[in-house]
Amino acid sequence: MGLLTFGLNVTLDGCIDHTQGIVDDELHDYWRQLMEQSGAMLFGRNTYELMEGAWPAVARDEKAPRAMREWAQKLEAKAKYVVSGSRSDFPWQNTIKVEGDLREAISALKAKTERGVLVGAPKLAAALEELGLIDEYRIVVHPIISGRGPTLFHGLSSARQLELLSTQRFKSGVQALHFRRKAG
């Protein structure tokens, strides 16, 4: 059974603000490598639509920066699963809609995806966390205070204990933190 890993960029104040952040080759390479290690991607509808609206064009743009283009091309080829209650048509290649009960569907996806699933959708991650389905966390903290945007795991019903597995510091000052759910 593969692990379900939640990965996301946040600012120092815990905000998910895609208008702020240090986006360079080193960061794109980090996310590309993490995606390559995973067997599939998992998105909620909102995140899927953001990705669908940007990355296919970058994958085909020969003038795009190397790291961005490589990320986009790998994403194009990767299996992408989407949880949506309001949309049923997903034309982006290799996209599959998640059907049925969320707990059962994601448990089945983990079971059949030996290399694991990488989820990058904050609302969906909060729902998956409530169900106890997330195994690991890859949180990339940018040295910026944004003060706007949604925050990680807003509204969880109880605290979660995590174990820090590793940290990685980028030249830009960005810190990648790798946690797993603490046993017991």
Q: Round the average pLDDT of the chain to a whole number and report it.
A: 93
In this predicted structure, the answer to whether residue 184 has a pLDDT above a threshold of 80 is no
Give 158's DSSP letter: S
- Helix (H) or strand (E) holding 91, with range, is none
In this predicted structure, the answer to whether residue 57 has a pLDDT above a threshold of 80 is yes
pLDDT score for 150 = 86
pLDDT score for 156 = 80
Contact 21, 90 (CB under 8 A): no
pLDDT score for 24 = 87
pLDDT score for 58 = 93
For residue 58, the SS3 value is helix
In this predicted structure, the answer to whether residue 153 has a pLDDT above a threshold of 70 is yes
Contact 140, 118 (CB under 8 A): no
Encoding tokens for residue 51? 């990705």
CATH number corresponding to 4-181: 3.40.430.10
65-92 average pLDDT score: 93
